[in-house]
Structure 1
C-alpha cells in the first residue's frame, strides 16, 4: 500500500514528495488522537484495560487458590467462552441494528456492576465461592461480548477509512499498557491479600469509560436503526455468516488465529509455573501475565510500518510463526527472565497479526455488516485463548507444562506453513485490493488484465 508521501510511479509532473523520516516511519501514528470523538473512545479503552487485566489475573488465581487444579483454571476459561460465543455473535448483530453509542453505554454499566459483585464475592468466608465466581465470570464475558463489536465497528465512522489501521494500532497499544501494568499490580495486591481490590479497580474503570462515552454523538449503523428483537438479531447473525462465506480470505483470518490461540495460548499454566518452577522469583505470577503484552507494547510503539504493509496475508502468517516459535522457547525456559523474554517475543508477533487482521475486516466489510464481522472477530480472538487454556491445562496436568507448550507451538508453526501452501490466496493477499469484493473472493476483476506472475494472482478461493 503506497504511503501518502511515497512517489507515484509513472506520474509525470507529480510534485516531488517530502522524504520520509525513517524514525517517524517506525513510530506509532498518533494522528487519530486529533479527532475528539476518537479521543473519548481511546481513553475509554485506556480506563477499562487496567482493571480488566487485573481481573483476568485475579480470576484464575482465585480458582487455583480454591481448587489447586490447573485443569479447573482451564474449565473456567471455557465457562467464560460460552457466553462469549453466544453474545459475541448476537452482539455484532445488535450493533448493526441500533445506536452503537447507546449499546456501549448499557454494556459498560453492566460490566461495572458485575465487577463490583466480583469484589463482594471475594470477601466471602473461605476466600470466595467457585460456583458464584463462575457465574459472574460468565456475566463479564457476556457484557464484553456485546460491547466490543460495537466499539470496533464505530472506528471507521469516526476516523475514516484512511485512519483505521493507525486507530487500531493506538487502541491495541494502550490495551497492552494495561495488560502489562494490570498483572503486575494485581500480583502485588494478591500477594498482600487484597484480592477484592483487584476486582474493584475493574468496576471503577468501567464507570470512567461510561462517563467518557456519554460525550460521543449518536453512532447509527449504515441502515436505519430499528426496534431490537431477538429474532431479528438471530437473523442478522445468519446474514453475517452468509456474507463471510463469500469472503474466503477474511474467513481465513479467523482460522489462522484460532489455530494460534487454541494450540499455543499459555495462560492456564501460569499459576502452576509461579508456584513451582519460578517460585523463587519475586512476583513471578505478575511477570508471566505481563510477558506477552510487554512484547506487544514494544511492537505497537514501533508499528508505523504496519499501516503500510501491502502483503498483509503473508505478514500475518509470518507473525503467527513467530508466536509459535516463541511459545516453544517458553515451554523450555528454565528461568523467569527467559520465560518472560519468550512471551514478549510471542506478544510482538501477535500484535502485528491482530492489527492487520482487524484492519482487513473493518475495511473490507460494508458499514451495515461491520458489527457482525467484529462479533465473529471477538469470538475468535477471545474464544481461541479460552480453548487454548483448556488444552494447555489438560496437557499440563497429564504430561507437564513443557509438553503442553512445546507441542502446541510445533502445531502452530506447521499449520501456518500448510496454510501458505494450501491457501495461496491468503498468502498473496494485498491490502491494495482490500476494497475489491471480487478480489477477496479469490476471483479476478473482469476488466483487469491477467496477472503476469503467481505473486500477483489472487489464486483459487480457499475451501
Structure 2
C-alpha cells in the first residue's frame, strides 16, 4: 500500500538532467513566488485599488501570447539549454529592477507593470523549451511520474515562497523579498550551465509564422489535445481569484491569513503529490483533466461562499489538489502523444492555455470584485468554471475516453521513444 501511494522516483534515478532541472526549478520557484506575492502587495500599498492589482493580468497578457507562440517555435529550432539559460538570466535582471525600484525613496508604480510585462515575455520564451525538454530526458513510461515529481517541486516553492513572502514583506519590506528573488535566480543560472546540450533536429526550420501555424493545425486536429487546452483555459478564466486575496483577507478580518491563502492551494497539491504513486498506473488521463478541473471549480465556489477563514483555507487546499490532478492528466497526455519535432510549438500553445487563463482570470476577478464585491466575484467564478468544464467535456468526448494503451498518437510516440532522449 505504501509503495502504491508514495511518489514514483524512477525519473530521478534514470536521468541526471531531470535531477538537475528539478533542483534548479525548486530554487527558481521559491524566488519567483517571493516576487509574485510582493509585487501585487506593493501595487496594493501604492494604489489601494483591486482594479490596479488586477490590471497586472492585462499588462502580462499580450507579451505572454506573442512570446509564448514564438518561444514554442524557437524551442523546436534552437538548443533548448541555451534558451533556458538566457531567459533565466533575463528574469534575474528584472528582479534587480524590482529591487532597485523598491529601494528608491519613493518607489514608482509604472516600473512594476513594465517588469510584469517583461517577466511574462521571458516566461513565454522559456516555458516551451522547458516543457519540450522533458519528453527527451525522461523515458516514455515514466512521464506521469516525472509530472508528479515536477508538481511536488512546484508545490514546495509555492508553499514556502508565499508563506515567507507575506512575513518578509510585513516585517522587512518589499526590497528584501526582491533581494531574495535576485539571489535565487543567480543560483539557478549556475545550475543551468551544467545542463547537457539539447540541440534541435538536423532538419529543423527557423521560427516562422508558418511553423507556428503548423503546430496550431496539429493541435486543432486532435480533439484530446484541444480538450486539455480548452478545459484548463476555462477553469483559470473563471476561477483564478488569487489577485484579490489581499481584499478577501481584509473582508474576513484576517489580514494575517494572506500568505496562507496563497499557499493553501499548494498544500492541497502537495498532499496529492505525496500520495501520487498510484497515478503512474492509470491510463485514462482524460478523466484526470475533467475531474480535477471540476473539483477546482467547486472548491473555489465554496471558498467564496464561506465567511470563516479556516473553511476558506480548507477549500483553497481542496482546489489545489483538484488543479494538480488535472495538471497531471494534461502533462501526461501532452508528453505521451505529441511528436518531438512539434513538441516546442505545441508547448507554446500549452503556455497560452495554462498561462493566459490566469492572466485573464486576474482581470475578471479584479473587475468583478469592484462591481459585485470580493466574495461574490470568487463564488460566481467557481460556479461558471464547473458549468464550462461540463459543457466542454460533453462537446469533446474523446478526452474522457483517452487511454494511453490504445490511443494512436500515444502508440506512435511510444514507438519513437526508444531511449530516454526520445530520439
- Measured against aligned partners, the alpha-carbon deviations of 1:242-283 in whole angstroms (never above 9, x if no partner) come to 21122121011000011100001111211112233233x53x
Normalised by the length of structure 1, the TM-score is 0.86
Asked whether 1:340 is paired with 2:320, we answer: no
Matched with 1:277 is: 252
Of residues 290, 295, 299 in structure 2, which corresponds to 1:317? 290
Alignment pair present for 1:82 and 2:62: yes
Of 229, 232, 235, 1:254 maps to 229
Aligned ranges 1:11-160 → 2 under 5 Å: 22-34=1-13, 35-126=15-106, 128-160=107-139
CA contact (8 A) 1:433 1:439 kept: no
Q: 1:224 to 1:218 in 2, by over 3 A?
A: farther
Q: Deviations over 1:27-61 (max 9, x none)?
A: 11112112222111111101101010111111111
Q: How much does 1:437 deviate? A: 7.1
**Residue 51 of structure 1 contacts residue 205 of structure 1 at CA under 8 Å; is this kept in 2?**
yes
- Structure with bigger helix share is 2
CA distance in 1, matches of 2:334, 2:201: 16
Give the corresponding residue for 1:14.
none
Distance 1:380 1:120 in 2: 33
What's the counterpart of residue 452 of structure 1? Answer: none
Q: How many residues align?
A: 412
User: How much does 1:438 deviate?
Assistant: 10
Runs of at least 5 residues in structure 2 that lack an aligned partner in the other structure: 414-423
Q: Which has the larger radius of gyration?
A: 1
- Match for residue 364 of structure 2? 391
Give the alignment partner of residue 269 of structure 2, picking from 280, 293, 296: 296
Determine the structure 2 residue equivalent to 1:411. 384
Shift in Å at residue 435 of structure 1?
A: 4.5
1:236 partnered with 2:182: no
Deviation (angstroms), 1:360: 0.7
Give the match for residue 406 of structure 2: 433
Between the aligned partners of 2:201 and 2:392, the Cα distance in structure 1 is 34
CA distance in 2, matches of 1:319, 1:371: 25
Q: How many angstroms does 1:436 deviate by?
A: 2.9
Q: Does the Cα contact within 8 Å between 1:70 and 1:397 map onto a contact in 2?
A: yes
Bigger Cα displacement from structure 2, 382-391 vs 429-438: 429-438
User: What's the CA shift for 1:400?
Assistant: 0.8
> Structure 1: which 5+ residue stretches go unaligned?
1-21, 441-463
Mapped to 2, the partners of 1:77 and 1:431 lie a distance apart of: 35
SS at match of 1:192: helix
| Residues 187-219 of structure 1: CA deviation (Å, up to 9, x unaligned) | 001111421121122222222122112112211
Q: CA RMSD in A?
A: 1.8
